[in-house]
Amino acid sequence: MTARFTGERPGSEMDHPDKKTPGLEPRSEGKGISVVVPAFNEEASVGAEVEAISRVLSRSDTSFEIIVVDDASTDRTSRIAMLGGARVFRHAENRGYGAAIKTGIRGARYDTIVITDADGTYPADQIPQLIEKLETADMVVGARIGKEVHIPLVRRPAKWLLGRLAQHIAGCPIPDLNSGLRAFRRQVMEPYFPMLSNRFSFTTTSTLALLGDDFQVVYHTINYYPRIGVSKIRPHHFMDFVILVLRMAMLFQPLKVFVPLAAASIAVGVMKSIFDILLVMERVATFGWATFYQPVLSTSALLLFLAGLQFLAIGMVADGVIRRLSFQSKGLGQAHATKVWELSHDKSDETQIVGSEQKHR
Could you say which residues of the chain have pLDDT below 50?
Answer: 1-23, 327-337, 347-351, 353, 359-361
Tens of pLDDT along 177-218? 889 999 999 999 998 898 888 877 889 889 988 988 889 999
The sign of the CA dihedral 91, 95, 99, 101 is: positive
User: So where are the chain's domains?
Assistant: 5-252+329-360, 255-324
In the prediction, which pLDDT does 196 show?
87
In the prediction, which pLDDT does 190 show?
93
DSSP strand pairing (351-360 vs 217-224): unpaired
Contacts 24+ apart (CB under 8 A), 7-11: 7/355, 8/355, 8/356, 8/357, 9/357, 10/337, 10/357, 10/358, 10/359, 11/335, 11/337, 11/357, 11/358, 11/359, 11/360
What value does the mean pLDDT of the chain take? 79
Give yes or no for a contact between 353 and 345, defined as CB atoms under 8 angstroms apart.
Answer: no
In the prediction, which pLDDT does 64 show?
96
In the prediction, which pLDDT does 348 show?
47
Where are the alpha helices (H) located in the chain, listed in sequence order? 12-15, 46-57, 77-83, 97-107, 127-133, 156-170, 186-189, 202-212, 237-252, 255-283, 299-324
What span, in angstroms and rounded, lies between the C-alpha atoms of 92 and 230?
22
DSSP type of residue 147: E
In the prediction, which pLDDT does 29 show?
63
Topology annotation, domain 5-252+329-360: Spore Coat Polysaccharide Biosynthesis Protein SpsA; Chain A (3.90.550)
In the prediction, which pLDDT does 158 show?
73
In the prediction, which pLDDT does 33 show?
97
DSSP assignment of 261-310: HHHHHHHHHHHHHHHHHHHHHHHSSS-SGGGGGS--S-HHHHHHHHHHHH
In the prediction, which pLDDT does 205 show?
86
185: nearest Cα among 144, 222, 140, 143: 140
In the prediction, which pLDDT does 287 show?
62
In the prediction, which pLDDT does 218 show?
96
